[in-house]
Amino acid sequence: MNIYDIAEKAGVSIATVSRVINGSDKVSDKTRARIMAIIEENNYTPNVFARGLSGDSIHIIGILVPDIADHFMSRAVSYLEKNLHEKGYNILLSCSGYSAEEKESHIRMLLDERIDAMILVGSTYAGSGNESHNTESIKEASCKIPVFLINGYIESDNIYCTFSNDYDASYELTKKFVENGRKRFLFITDSESYSANKKREGFTRALEDSGISPENISFLHLPNDIAVVSDYLREHPIGFDACYASEDGIAIGVVKYAQSKGLRVPEDISVIGYNNSEICIAAVPEITSVDNRLKYICDGTVSRLLAVLSGETEVEHRTSVACTLACRDTTNFS
């Protein structure tokens, strides 16, 4: 039996059970008595939320990423490890890949190590609506330990999600394209993850609200690979004067294509990337990019993790972080 079973039998939320376990006075005597009776009847040991207080903590946090070679994910792990180490925690890092089977296997492996909590980095863990990206294994893991998700959202009582507001950022930057006089628009992404879908939704809605005809809007699904993007655009001509790329590497590939065709950036083609990574500054011209404030997200995730492990029951489950736009040489916004 776990905390979910207790909540179901008592007819209350998991948060209410947690309050009883942690001695909160924000529960009525009647409800408290009902929950305690179920706990005693089933010999339940309430250590999911109270491990940090009971001395059962081993002070190890599991961190799961699909691919540590990905720049976004490696930066996130760096921020998380440094912050957790300063708070007295060590990390156990695992790279799951992208298939459902690989994810499930790595989640089980981390759980077998008796970690105190798990952090999942990447919106691929939040699913995309198809079978290969289901989230059941993550929800099952959250029945045993608190789970924290960066850059995606899964609704569950013991899963805490922090993510960039990709929809609003994409909507606003696309409106800037329109206000800048751009007429033909291209959106390029390398995935169908939670984050990528929000970016596309914001992009599409902004163009609809601006009265842009669908015939002037193109979409491509390409790897986050500079050479692949550049080569594809050369081999498959698409008329566009504004490109929104869901990754900075894709944006650089678009700039490389423009340069090979003698097109001026940003005069002929305006380009925006995403993540505001270091490669934006290394590129020539420097890439305008959405800053999703990754360090802020990671620091906030650690703060909420420590709060949950200390027994707090009023921790936010869904935290959205506003993005900013780092304007550089691939746009000429006023």
Query: CB of 94 within 8 A of CB of 61?
Result: no
> Tokens in use for 101?
């089977």
Quote the pLDDT of residue 235.
97
Q: Which of 208, 292, 202, 191 has the alpha carbon at shortest distance from 250?
A: 191
Exposed/middle/buried for residue 193 (C-beta within 10 Å: 0-12, 13-18, 19+): buried
pLDDT tens-digit readout, 57-76: 678 999 999 999 988 999 99
55 pLDDT above the threshold of 80: no
What integer pLDDT is reported at residue 132 of this predicted model? 38
Q: How far apart are CA 301 and CA 61, in angstroms?
A: 12
Report residue 69: phi and psi, to 5°.
-70, -20
Give the integer Cα–Cα distance in Å for 120 and 156. 14
Please state the rounded mean pLDDT for residues 132-160. 89
Beta-carbon contacts of residue 136 (< 8 Å; ≥ 6 apart): none
Coil/strand/helix, residue 206: helix
What letter represents residue 234's amino acid? R
Least confident of 30-44, 126-140, 199-213, 298-312: 126-140
Question: What pLDDT does residue 190 have?
Answer: 94
> Mean pLDDT lowest for which of 105-119, 125-139, 220-234, 241-255?
125-139
How much is the average pLDDT of 97-104? Answer: 92
Query: What is the per-residue pLDDT across 228-255, written as a single tens digit (0 to 9) for each?
Result: 999 999 999 999 999 999 999 999 999 9
Residue 166: CB partners within 8 Å, gap ≥ 6?
A: 195, 198, 199, 202, 292, 323
Q: What is the pLDDT of residues 6-44, one digit of tens each?
A: 888 899 876 788 778 877 777 899 999 999 999 888 887
pLDDT on residue 269: 98
pLDDT at 27: 86
Residue 128 has a pLDDT of 61
- For residue 305, give the amino acid letter: L
Rounded average pLDDT over 74-94: 95
Instruction: Quote the CA–CA distance of 273 and 280 in Å, as a whole number.
Output: 8
Tell me which residue has tokens 């708070």: 87
How high does pLDDT run on average in the chain? 91
pLDDT level of residue 46 (50, 70, 90 thresholds): low
Asked whether residue 51 carries a pLDDT value surpassing 50, the answer given is no
Answer yes or no: is pLDDT of 91 > 60.
yes
Q: Which amino acid is at 23?
A: G
Domains of the chain by start residue, with CATH = 3-41 (1.10.260.40), 51-164+294-321 (3.40.50.2300), 166-292 (3.40.50.2300)
**pLDDT digit string, tens, across residues 267-296:** 999 999 999 999 999 999 999 999 999 999
pLDDT band at residue 131 using 50, 70 and 90 as cut-offs = very low
Contacts of 90 by beta carbon, 8 Å cutoff, 6+ apart: 59, 60, 61, 84
Instruction: Identify any residues that bridge with 46 across adjacent strands, giving them in sequence order.
Output: none
DSSP label of 100: H
Structure tokens at 41: 């009847």
pLDDT of residue 57: 61
- Contact 149/120 with Cβ under 8 angstroms? yes
The pTM for the full model equals: 0.79
Q: What is the structure's pLDDT at 7? A: 82
Please give the structure tokens belonging to residue 334: 């006023």
Task: In whole angstroms, give the CA distance from residue 254 to residue 233.
Answer: 8
| pLDDT at residue 53 greater than cutoff 50 | no
